[in-house]
Amino acid sequence: MTDRPHRDFLAIPDFSTLELTKLFDLAERMRRGEYTSKPIAGKTLAMIFMKASTRTRVSFEVGTYQLGGHALFLSPRDVQLGRGEPIADTARVLSRYVDGIMIRTFAHAEVEELARYADVPVINGLTDLVHPCQVLADLLTVRQTFGSIEGRKIAWIGDGNNMANSWINAAFRLGFELALACPEGYEPNADLLERARAHAKITLTRDPREAVTGAHVVNTDVWASMGQEEEQTKRERDFTGYTVDESLMQRASSDAIFLHCLPAHRGEEVAAEVIDGPRSKVWDEAENRLHVQKAIMAVLMGGEKLT
Ligand code: CP
Ligand code: NVA
């Protein structure tokens, strides 16, 4: 281990409020095609995927290439981590070859351990606890739609999962109003919620109609996340009444947008009429993964400043 001259991105609060604003400015320049630098030319990103992915894998790989670098896709079938090689050893070895590591895995503690032993920046591409790159992309979409995040009410309907926890972390840093509706037993992480409540108006209810009332952004996600597939039937029962459909959307602000990190299950957490309807911004949201992650890599691996 070194004295860590670099920084990681494991969760949204790893950036300060000011840094997040600057990061969105940089990502927005990238989105508009105004940023053409190659700050990671000659550098390599290792991408460890212990779970499946479409968006995260492709957007990181394409983003690395667009910034002048190269990305390596590593699945548990390919690397010894899948056969029990310790995370600490993997971190130390990869650090001798690559300039950054992105990881998607189960336990958040594994990502923290990887970061502790790596001598290069580590980026969280989703854990059971949080999905920070996704919520930054969602926030960029809110900015793109409304001009700013300030003064917007965000509603979260459904599972208090990694996405809900990252929205709570975002409210902690950015101070917007967040209304969550989750069934009993599916609440978000209590510690993250408590920390954020000192900095933002956050409500937790069982009633989706209450949460969406007046919201500018209505968000949901699958009822069974990766690794919870065997709970699907029980969850379908427990989440009855939590489908985001047109009648629920009508309680939101007249200019409200719908977001979903994808993949989506039409007819479960969201009705097709909503995700495929005029208020849905899910394709912009998916595109914005590319822009925010490029901004993160340019800062962590390429020397871009957030000042
Ligand atoms: N939203 C998201 O992270 O998608 P993937 O699982 O396809 O990467
Ligand atoms: N909550 C979902 C998000 C997928 C991008 C999961 O963890 O599977």
pLDDT in tens, 51-77: 999 999 999 999 999 999 999 999 999
Residue 2 alpha carbon to ligand 1 centre in Å: 32
Indicate if ligand 2 lies below 6 Å from the C-beta of 222. Answer: yes
Q: Are residues 126 and 139 in the same domain?
A: no
Indicate which residue of 31, 55, 57, 104 is catalytic: 104
Indicate if ligand 2 lies below 6 Å from the C-beta of 165. Answer: no
The mean pLDDT value for 161-184 works out to 98
Residues 219-267 pLDDT 10s: 999 999 999 999 999 999 999 999 999 999 999 999 999 999 999 999 9
pLDDT for residue 3 is more than 80: no
In a domain, 165, yes or no: yes
pLDDT classification of 2: cutoffs 50, 70, 90: very low
Tell which residue, 128, 104, 124, has the closest CA to residue 51.
104
Burial of 238 (0-12, 13-18, 19+ CB in 10 A): middle
**Number of Cα atoms under 13 Å in the Cβ half of residue 22:** 12
In a domain, 307, yes or no: no
- The pLDDT value recorded for residue 248 is 98
Indicate if ligand 2 lies below 6 Å from the C-beta of 286. Answer: no
Mean predicted lDDT score pLDDT of the chain = 97
Nearest residue (by CA) to ligand 2, atom 7, is: 225
In a domain, 7, yes or no: no
The minimum-distance atom of ligand 1 relative to the CA of 133 is: 3
- 134 is a catalytic site residue: yes
Residue 199 alpha carbon to ligand 1 centre in Å: 29
Strand-pairing partners, residue 155, are: 179, 218
- The pLDDT value recorded for residue 1 is 44
Q: Are residues 174 and 226 in the same domain?
A: yes
pLDDT for residue 81 is more than 70: yes
The mean pLDDT value for 174-190 works out to 98
Residues 273-297 pLDDT 10s: 999 999 999 999 999 999 999 999 9
User: How far is residue 243's CA from residue 246's CA, in Å, rounded to a whole number?
Assistant: 10
Q: Are residues 139 and 127 in the same domain?
A: no
In a domain, 140, yes or no: yes
Q: Are residues 108 and 39 in the same domain?
A: yes
Q: Are residues 167 and 294 in the same domain?
A: no
Indicate which residue of 131, 143, 173, 235 is catalytic: 131
In a domain, 6, yes or no: no
Nearest residue (by CA) to ligand 2, atom 6, is: 225
In a domain, 306, yes or no: no
Cα 133–Cα 134–Cα 139 angle in degrees, nearest 5: 100
Residues 92-107 pLDDT 10s: 999 999 999 999 999 9
**pLDDT over 90 for what percent of the chain?**
97
Q: Are residues 273 and 295 in the same domain?
A: no
The mean pLDDT value for 209-223 works out to 98
Domains: count for the chain? 2
In a domain, 2, yes or no: no
pTM for the model stands at 0.98
Q: Are residues 118 and 260 in the same domain?
A: no
Looking at residue 269, its amino acid is E
Residues 14-47 pLDDT 10s: 999 999 999 999 999 999 999 999 999 999 999 9
Q: Are residues 202 and 94 in the same domain?
A: no
Looking at residue 28, its amino acid is E
The CATH code of the domain that includes 265 is 3.40.50.1370
- The pLDDT value recorded for residue 5 is 75
Q: Are residues 258 and 295 in the same domain?
A: no
Nearest residue (by CA) to ligand 2, atom 1, is: 225
> Quick one: which ligand is closest to 138's CA?
1
The minimum-distance atom of ligand 2 relative to the CA of 134 is: 5
Indicate if ligand 2 lies below 6 Å from the C-beta of 225. Answer: yes
In a domain, 30, yes or no: yes
- 29 is a catalytic site residue: no
The mean pLDDT value for 145-158 works out to 97
Backbone φ and ψ for 101, nearest 5 degrees, come out as: -130, 125
Q: Are residues 125 and 157 in the same domain?
A: no
**pLDDT over 70 for what percent of the chain?**
99
Indicate which residue of 8, 134, 138, 159 is catalytic: 134
- 83 is a catalytic site residue: no
Range of the domain at 65: 12-131+287-300
Q: Are residues 143 and 233 in the same domain?
A: yes
- 78 is a catalytic site residue: no
The string of DSSP letters for the chain reads -----S--BSSGGGS-HHHHHHHHHHHHHHHTT-----TTTT-EEEEEESS--SHHHHHHHHHHHHTT-EEEEE-TTTSGGGGT--HHHHHHHHHTT-SEEEEE-S-HHHHHHHHHH-SS-EEE---SS--HHHHHHHHHHHHHHHS-STT-EEEEES--SHHHHHHHHHHHHH--EEEEE--TT----HHHHHHHHTTS-EEEES-HHHHHTT-SEEEE--SS-TT-GGGHHHHHHHTTT--B-HHHHTTS-TT-EEEE-S---BTTTB-HHHHTSTTB-HHHHHHHHHHHHHHHHHHHTT-----
- 182 is a catalytic site residue: no
Q: Are residues 251 and 110 in the same domain?
A: no
Strand-pairing partners, residue 101, are: 46, 122
- The pLDDT value recorded for residue 141 is 98
- The pLDDT value recorded for residue 190 is 98
> Quick one: which ligand is closest to 288's CA?
1
Cα 295–Cα 196–Cα 131 angle in degrees, nearest 5: 40
